[in-house]
């Protein structure tokens, strides 16, 4: 059974007085992602692919449609069930420079989800973070720096380590490498692939770069103006 099943998902924005204009950012999209698989999502900028990623995670409330995660409809989740979902479904963002709180040290940024969800005892925290930054091959000395002192590639690794701490089953990667230089892009992409095989994570990999998506994905969906126009 698929880990994630999306059925007829819609996200509309209404603008103008009296709901005159409807912008159909996501317009009835359905797909499935199996465990440990990657679905690549390709489309031009402004086609609604980022909105789709956020709606799947319920960071945006869908206008209509269902998202089944592990067989359960997450659209009705509230309170602790929703909070619990936070550890299982995660997201990595495009712009590494804004994806970490500039006022939080790298250590705290990685520790935040662990603390928030009480994923480990206080005395185990240090060791757990050590494991995490080793998993994304960052050096320990960066732990007590602020995000402003790190390069784009390093920041993206920290963002990955932070998400990885929750042992998520599904990650939306929203153009994680489009702002990175080619050498760094290659590093981050192969890191994601390595982690996928190690931890069995499923990805929804959003990008506008066909070659990157081809390299990352098991299946590719093409998106245009809120709709999926084809799979491959």
Partner 1 sequence: MTEVIEKTEITEKAYLAEKRLNFGEFGKNRLAVSGLLLIAFLCILALFAPRIAPHDPLAQRLDSGLLFPSTEYPFGTDELGRCIFSRVIYGTRISLGIGLLVVAATSVAGTSLGLLSGYRGGLLDEVIMRVVDIVMAFPNIILALVIAGLLGPGFSSVVLALAFTQWPAYARLVRGQVLSLRKRAFVEAARALRPSSFYIMRKHILPNCMEPVIVLGTLEIAHVIIFASALSFLGLGIQAPDPEWGSMLKAGIPFLRTVSHLTFFPGLMIIFTVFAFNFAGDGLRDSLGQPADQEVLAR
Partner 2 sequence: MSSPLLSIEDLNISFKTSKGIVKANQGISLEVREEEILGLIGETGCGKTTLGKAILRLLSGKATLEGKIVYRGTDLLTLPEKEMRRFRGKEIGIMLQNPSACLNPVLSAGSQIAEIYRYHEGMGKKEAEKKAGKMLELVGISSSRGCEYPHQFSGGMLQRVMVAIGLALRPGLLIADEPTRGLDTDTKLQISELIAGLVRKENSSMLLITHDLEIAGRLADRIAVMYAGEIVEIGKVAEILSNPKHPYTLDLLHSLPGKGFRTVSGQPPSLVSPPSGCRYHPRCSFRLEACSQVHPALMGFEGERLTRCFLSEKGRINETAAQPFLNAQSALKCEEE
Kindly state the tokens that stand for 221: 């969906």
Cα separation, 117 vs 123, in Å, equals 15
Residue 5: alpha-carbon gap to chain centroid? 16
93 binds, among partner 2, partner 1, none (CB under 5 to 8 A by kind): partner 1
Question: What three-state secondary structure class fits 50?
Answer: helix
Q: Provide the binding-site residues for partner 2, judged by CB under 8 A.
A: 44-46, 137, 151-154, 178-179, 181-187, 189-190, 208-212, 214-215
> In the bound complex, what is the minimum distance in angstroms from residue 185's beta carbon to partner 2?
7
CA dihedral (104, 105, 106, 111) positive or negative: negative
34 binds, among partner 1, partner 2, none (CB under 5 to 8 A by kind): none
> In the bound complex, what is the minimum distance in angstroms from residue 194's beta carbon to partner 2?
10
215 binds, among partner 1, partner 2, none (CB under 5 to 8 A by kind): partner 2
Nearer to partner 2, 26 or 213 (CB): 213
189 binds, among partner 1, partner 2, none (CB under 5 to 8 A by kind): partner 2
Contact 107, 130 (CB under 8 A): no
Cα separation, 23 vs 6, in Å, equals 20
Which segments of the chain does DSSP mark as H helices, in order?
A: 49-56, 79-88, 106-116, 125-135, 152-164, 182-199, 210-216
Nearer to partner 1, 120 or 218 (CB): 120
> In the bound complex, what is the minimum distance in angstroms from residue 232's beta carbon to partner 1?
29
106 binds, among partner 2, partner 1, none (CB under 5 to 8 A by kind): none
Nearer to partner 1, 83 or 194 (CB): 83
């Amino acid at each position: 059974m698929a880990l994630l099943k999306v059925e007829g998902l819609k996200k509309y924005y209404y603008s103008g007085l009296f709901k005159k204009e409807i912008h159909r950012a996501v317009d009835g999209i359905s797909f499935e992602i199996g465990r440990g698989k990657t679905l690549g999502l390709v489309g031009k900028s402004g086609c609604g692919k980022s909105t789709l990623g956020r709606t799947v995670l319920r960071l945006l409330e869908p206008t209509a449609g269902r998202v089944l995660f592990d067989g359960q409809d997450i659209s009705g989740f509230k309170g602790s069930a929703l909070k619990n979902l936070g550890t299982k479904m995660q997201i990595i963002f495009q712009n590494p420079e804004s994806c970490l709180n500039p006022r939080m040290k790298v250590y705290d940024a990685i520790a935040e989800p662990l603390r928030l969800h009480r994923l480990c005892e206080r005395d185990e925290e240090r060791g757990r973070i050590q494991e995490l930054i080793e998993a994304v091959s960052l050096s320990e000395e960066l732990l007590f720096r602020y995000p402003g002192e790190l390069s784009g590639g390093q920041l993206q690794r920290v963002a990955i380590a932070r998400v990885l701490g929750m042992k998520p089953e599904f990650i939306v990667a929203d153009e994680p490498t489009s702002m990175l230089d080619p050498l760094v892009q290659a590093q981050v992409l192969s890191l994601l692939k390595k982690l996928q095989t190690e931890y069995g994570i499923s990805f929804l990999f959003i990008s506008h770069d066909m070659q990157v998506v081809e390299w990352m994905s098991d299946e590719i969906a093409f998106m245009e103006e809120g709709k999926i126009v084809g799979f491959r």
